[in-house]
Chain A
């Protein structure tokens, strides 16, 4: 078997706050292959962004990877020194943030910021770097690139700024692009433009993309594989087809029931009851059990292990484990 581009193994990331340790990510493992588009979906506080930030090691000062490994082409980057990580960011892996309004520096021109990224990470200098910057702007579909280089972020619209962010992220042709809610702050028609651009660039450059979002619609149209997260853990993973048409975890099922269905528009929505869990105070068992309609006794006390539904699909839910045991004719005394 060939080596995956990124292998995340049993990642635990915590934030040490005044009110205690917040375990934002609790044992997340996944592989990302060359040229794959992986979607991570979950509600706010599910740990999806923290997982992405952990790969880049750009956590807030209170955050720390407390356990687990992240391998990039077989090397454990959690052991890398700051200098090595600086090279990793930009050259191997870059990120686009949610809010294009705040992720660009308002007091520098677009050109300034774009050229900075190029000179830091490649050996292009001066004029060469400027030409490259203009090329990049053209690549992301911005007209009159030379004029734009002299403009400040406030002179551009939200969609344009997100294009500049993408240009910056692609400056060194990274192997991995992490997009953290890249279109959440944008309007639908602009969102469609940006998603189309990302798909096109991904095909041309062949990089791997991790798309972090809460929007199931964006995930459905973009991703090959999907990871569903809740309470800092992966509840279900599989191909887009498996997750949407054959969900096996109660949380995924609940999520899909709680959004309006295109084919049955006027049907009543079935919400997930209760409120998201408090990350300061994680339950001993399955993190979703407090909101699950089909929770069993064992869900309260023990964390479910991940089992394979089929070769493209895994879920961590006691219901599936029970069904699997029953299919084998075993005793199911819960």
Chain B
């Protein structure tokens, strides 16, 4: 199928952690993740902190060198390919708009840096024109090009980060919690901008966030991660109406819904305990320690992601 822009195959990212004087234990941040993203599509990636969702985004861009697995972009393998050429097509927007911009650079230089790196202009005038065009694109006043990042509010800084990602005209952007540091009223502005840019430029997103309402709103399909594995992947509406995996069910029921009648009438499935440490993963299914349906089989083998019809994938023996 030629509609597939990005394909991730059995991606693994293990970090060696010193657990003793001579002993190192691999921390399996991402442990065998596979998915595809179509051209101009948004895939949402949700999960709790420490489940490896950010690491997936970073490994795709090879900000980390993946331990195992392959990433194909437009049919070409990213792993082992020239990174610089790949990064012209794939970019990233970071979570924290305060620490992801260099405080000693002007906005013009921040947005211009990718243009410099990839030699995307022939003279200074062209560079400046491109920068001003990008600033207008993301709704920044182009008169502010000579200002520094600290002179902008959180929402505006996030716009600078997005303009920087768009500078090289990428086909794919990893958005790592791009709105979670922003106030509610500003969040909507930035989410709308992501949607408008997608309509205009046809760019695809991997939208990583922990806010399920936002992810449901922006994504076509959603993948749910738990302890380094994808436990469920389905169309956004299908996932919300008909979650199959017990973890997804409890996650969805725990989301606070801003509607008093719905919030008070529904049944919350409250999970017991905390997420196990990724250094001491439970055997078999990673979720079995908190799962109400866990059986003996769950402790012995790890369930694989299988299709339950209409592209709804779930990794559970019992559901």
Contacts and interface: CB of A to CB of B under 8 A. Distances in A.
B155 interface: yes
Contact of A192 (B184, B187, B191, B268): B268
B184 A259 contact: yes
B250 interface: yes
A43 B183 contact: yes
B184 A265 contact: no
Given A221-B257, A260-B217, A189 B250 contact: yes
B264 interface: yes
A157 interface: yes
Contacts of B17: none
Contacts of A272: 185, 188-189
Interface string A220-260: 11000000000000000000110011000000001111111
Contacts of A296: none
Contact of B258 (A254, A259, A268, A271): A259
A221 B256 contact: yes
Interface in B205-243: 210, 212-214, 216-217, 236-237, 240
A269 B271 contact: no
B195 interface: yes
Contact of A190 (B214, B240, B262, B274): B274
A276 B183 CA distance: 9
Contacts of A260: 213-214, 216-217
B255 A217 contact: yes
Interface in A242-300: 244-245, 254-260, 262-263, 265-266, 268-273, 275-276, 291
B268 A265 contact: no
Contacts of B146: none
Contacts, number: 124
A159 B156 CA distance: 33
A262 B188 contact: no
B274 A159 contact: yes
Contacts of A268: 192, 195
A193 interface: yes
B184 A43 contact: yes
B254 A221 contact: no
Nearest to B193: A271
Interface string A184-215: 00011111110110000000000000000011
Contact of B187 (A193, A258, A266): A258
Given A189-B254, A262-B213, A265-B217, A244 B185 contact: no
Contact of B48 (A187, A265, A270): A187
A44 interface: yes
B210 A259 contact: no
The contact size tier of chain B is 35 or more
A185 B153 CA distance: 22
Contacts of A8: none
Contacts of A259: 184, 187-188, 213, 258
B49 interface: yes
Q: Give the interface residue-count category, chain A.
A: 35 or more
Interface string B182-203: 0111111101100100000000
Which among B155, B185, B187, B236 has the highest number of chain A CB atoms within 10 Å? B185
B263 A220 contact: yes
B260 interface: yes
A165 interface: no
Contacts of A28: none
A265 B251 contact: no
Contacts of A189: 48, 250-251, 254, 270-271
A170 interface: no
B143 interface: no
A244 B254 contact: no
A50 interface: no
A109 to B, nearest CB: 20
A185 B192 CA distance: 25
A218 interface: yes
A74 to B, nearest CB: 32
Given A269-B192, A275-B155, A191 B256 contact: yes
B259 A244 contact: yes
A244 B195 CA distance: 26
B256 A220 contact: yes
Nearest to A193: B270
Nearest to A190: B274
Interface string B288-315: 0000000000000000000000000000
B257 A262 contact: yes
A254 B188 CA distance: 10
A152 B270 CA distance: 26
A159 B254 CA distance: 14
A269 B257 contact: no
A216 interface: yes
A184 to B, nearest CB: 11
B258 A216 contact: yes
Contacts of A254: 185
A217 B256 contact: yes
B191 A269 contact: yes
Contacts of A258: 184-185, 187-188
A160 interface: yes
Interface in B138-153: 153
B260 A244 contact: yes
A214 B260 CA distance: 16
Given A160-B274, A271-B192, A255 B184 contact: yes
Given A196-B268, A258-B187, 7 more contacts: A43-B183, A192-B268, A244-B260, A254-B185, A271-B191, A273-B189, A276-B185
Interface of A: 43-44, 157, 159-160, 187-193, 195-196, 214-221, 240-241, 244-245, 254-260, 262-263, 265-266, 268-273, 275-276, 291
28 contacts: A43-B183, A160-B274, A187-B48, A188-B254, A189-B48, A189-B270, A192-B254, A214-B184, A215-B256, A216-B184, A217-B213, A217-B257, A217-B263, A219-B258, A220-B263, A221-B257, A245-B260, A257-B188, A258-B187, A258-B188, A260-B217, A262-B213, A262-B257, A262-B259, A265-B240, A268-B192, A271-B185, A275-B153
